[in-house]
Structure 1
Amino acid sequence: MASNNSQNSTPQSIDDVLNLLSLWAGNFHRNTTKAFADLRPKDYIRLVIIIGAYCLLRPYLMKLGAKLQARGYEREDRAAQEEAEKTRLNGNDLRGTRIALPGIESDDEEDEDEAEASSWGRKAKLRQRKMIRKKLEEQEERLRSMQEEESDQDIADLLED
């Protein structure tokens, strides 16, 4: 019986759907005609004033909304630009500092647990990190020597003149 009752609450056929739509159409027609049939002249005037005010003020409200939205977008853009300016690095920021590269920033790989050291591929990762550090140090040394040679050459050129 309970399953029969739950089946009755959902439409089972096209006739049930058509009956439901007919009921909705009847309710809509009755409610709209009843709403306007009982209006007094004062109510009609009030309705005309409300609709007219909406039609007149709508364009201005849309413009106001667009301005507020544009202001919000500008504020977000400025905040994003300020954040980008804070995080932007220039050459002077990088001089004399060491940049941490992912995967090679820890100096104490040898101090870690023996269990981790015996895990598969751990030793290869450590060798790779050491090789990358060595190559970076060689590159930094080469850049330093090139800068010293250039500065020495500039001084020599100035002294010759």
Structure 2
Amino acid sequence: MAGLGDVASMVGNRFVNNISGSFGSLTIHQWIRLVVIAGAYMLLRPYLIKLGSRFQMKQHEADEKASLEEAAAIAAGKKAPLSANDLRGGAAKKAPQQPESDPDDSDDDVPGAVVSGTDWGKTARKRQRRVLRKMLEAHEQALVDAQADDEDKDIEEFLED
């Protein structure tokens, strides 16, 4: 416990020494500059806060207006009400175009079809199948290379220099 008290007193002494050294060595020009900066901050801060609140209020009003217009469009029947997928953030999106066709990826996949948030598992499964297929091909290639090396060693036994 004595170590903790020593550390606290050391920190306190350093703080006092640094602050007194900083302000004790200021010239008159530096004092004036410090007072001007602090004063300008204290004078301008309330105006900057009011300006920020005005911008924030305008943004809130615009958001509220947009939500009221959307609610009116839904009530008038011009727009479909929100579905559970829309609320979850899974609004319908266009499916990305796959440059390569994959026979294993034919899970009722129509190019350009609309995909909802509930279909994320399908693309993950396709991606996993591609990764596994690439790993299997790499392993098979390594086995073929190893077998070719073994055959070369067998042939080298019979060669003479």
| TM-score band w.r.t. shorter chain | 0.3 to 0.5
TM normalised by structure 2 equals 0.44
